[in-house]
Structure 1
Amino acid sequence: MRITVVGSINLDFVATAPKLPRAGETVTGAELARHPGGKGANQALAAQRLGAEVCLIGRVGRDSMAEEALTLLLADNVDTGGVISDAEQPTGVALIAVDPEGENQIVVAAGANHSCFPEQLPARIDCPLILQLELPIETVEAAVGRATEFVCVNLAPAQPVSDQLLRRADLIVVNETEAAFYGDLLHHGGGRVVVTQGA
């Protein structure tokens, strides 16, 4: 099965700490790791590993972080022909603090992800489509409008979206925080809603 993912590609910097900092607090004793990430890249990699043939559409900088961010995708044969290298913007970065229970705080510097505009999309997307909201909302809306098959949208990070997007989505995925943000709007769509716990 062929799947198109339109989404973010980041390099994640993950600090595992004894506790998450409060506002204005510095926490020491953290261990630091770097991983390829971005919701779009993670979705593409998971679908590929489950046996789909995945085409990823996204944007990275023309920098060393891009190579690192794309490493796992290329190793698993994800089709990255739809990924553009942007000479003007850096590769997106996520700064993630994680406590021993797995709770986290995340700040994303979107970089090139925010330069992934509708012009980068094909005129039609004739296979199942997976998206999230880490790209410009006009790109997400355009991708949904060009899709002719099943559409799955992870409404993260939470932000206003059109009724048209909600109606067109066959599957909407949110976590508990996002479900609270969208509230009753989630039931205005035509598809199913999945609420994850801690993801």
Structure 2
Amino acid sequence: MRDPGKAASGLVSVIGSANVDQMVRVDRYPEHGETVLGDWVGRLPGGKGLNQALAAQSCGAQTRFCGQVGSDADGAMLRRTIEESGIDATGLCTSEHQPTGIAQVAVLPESGNSIIVVGGANSSLPSTAAAAAAEGAAVVLVQMEIPAAAAEAALTAGRSTGAVTILNAAPVERVTASVLRLADVVVVNESEAAALGGAEHILASGPEAVIVTLGSRGAQWTHRSGGHLRVPAFQVDAVDTTGAGDAFCGALAAAMSRGDDIETALLKASAAGAIVATALGAQTGLLTSGAVDCLVSRD
């Protein structure tokens, strides 16, 4: 695997989606034709890309974000969120033709959720912007809520400068063979791994390693050489799992940008996901590098 130390900056570049999450709490999801009542939670920053960039920044990495919002109030709110977090927002594009993406998030009992995403401006993120955002990065992290061409451009640019390239292969139906080939590390949950034919099949497509997140059972790392590593989940009082997987990815990228060994990186990623699950919404001020280190040390 490429050495993240080759990029002296230690920069994490995240190329992905930025949405506004419209969140409600419901006792159960409605059946076909049924109406259920819910409690309004709020309109919060979200999107896999933005969630992961904020997690990487919160975990101590110098972070750059590239995505696209609309020229509307939602886009202005997301831009403020990014800039106020300290993330480099020079790669954030604005579409004059499409609105900012939104996600309808139903928070279910026992910390579950159900999400519908309307991509909006995310669906036309320019490949040129995605490639430019990868310049100088130690780690390039992408997901598939953006066009496959933009994801491929970012990973190609990262490869060309020796960055470690990470693909969070979600939504899985948008993953292409060419995108898989360009990833050093692929991160998937169990259902995504199954949809892609399993870890061994993913490795045969080109990546050096696959990480399968297993929810309350931790995470499994498998290397192309045959190496395996399993880390446990951290026991917390989960409130809402929205964004927990994104926190895992962002913290993983932050750890890899510092050159942490894979076990340490996985433990920190697992801890970050657990911390985010203790609060409503995809981000929380509880997620800090100190909180991650404290949870890892506690267990």
Shared fold by TM > 0.5? yes
Whether 1:194 and 2:208 are equivalent positions in the alignment is: no
- Structure 2 Cα separation of the partners of residues 72 and 117 of structure 1: 22
- Structure 2 Cα separation of the partners of residues 61 and 140 of structure 1: 19
TM-score, length of structure 1 as denominator length: 0.92
Report the count of equivalent residues. 199
1:112 is paired with a residue of what secondary structure?
helix
Q: Which amino acid aligns with 2:207?
A: G
Question: How far did 1:72 drift?
Answer: 2.9
Output aligned runs, 1:101-180, within 5 Å: 101-122=110-131, 125-127=135-137, 128-147=139-158, 148=161, 149-180=163-194
- Structure 2 Cα separation of the partners of residues 171 and 21 of structure 1: 37
Partner of 1:56: 65
Output aligned runs, 1:4-153, within 5 Å: 4-122=13-131, 125-127=135-137, 128-147=139-158, 148=161, 149-153=163-167
Question: How far did 1:118 drift?
Answer: 0.8
Q: Percent identity?
A: 39
Alignment deviations for residues 47-92 of structure 1 (CA, whole Å, 9 cap, x no partner): 1111111111110001111122233322211011110111111111
Alignment deviations for residues 103-137 of structure 1 (CA, whole Å, 9 cap, x no partner): 21111111110110212234563311000000011
Question: How far did 1:160 drift?
Answer: 4.8
Question: How far did 1:40 drift?
Answer: 0.5
Query: Residues 62 and 160 of structure 1: is their aligned pair in 2 closer, same or farther, counting only changes over 3 Å?
Result: closer
Query: Residues 160 and 68 of structure 1: is their aligned pair in 2 closer, same or farther, counting only changes over 3 Å?
Result: closer
- Structure 1 Cα separation of the partners of residues 77 and 148 of structure 2: 26
2:35 is paired with a residue of what secondary structure?
coil
Question: How far did 1:173 drift?
Answer: 0.8
1:75 is paired with a residue of what secondary structure?
helix
- Structure 2 Cα separation of the partners of residues 29 and 63 of structure 1: 27
Question: How far did 1:16 drift?
Answer: 0.9
- Structure 1 Cα separation of the partners of residues 195 and 103 of structure 2: 22
1:121 is paired with a residue of what secondary structure?
helix
Query: Which of 1 and 2 has greater Rg?
Result: 2
- Structure 2 Cα separation of the partners of residues 111 and 179 of structure 1: 27
Calculate the aligned-residue CA RMSD, in Å: 1.7
Q: Is contact 1:45-1:72 (8 Å) kept?
A: no
Partner of 2:272: none
Stretches of structure 2 that go unaligned for 5 or more consecutive residues are 1-9, 216-244, 246-299
Q: Is contact 2:14-2:49 (8 Å) kept?
A: yes
Q: Report which stretch shifted further, 116-125 or 69-78.
A: 116-125
- Structure 1 Cα separation of the partners of residues 157 and 25 of structure 2: 40
Stretches of structure 1 that go unaligned for 5 or more consecutive residues are none
Normalized per residue, the structure richer in strand is: 1
Question: How far did 1:18 drift?
Answer: 0.9
Question: How far did 1:4 drift?
Answer: 0.9
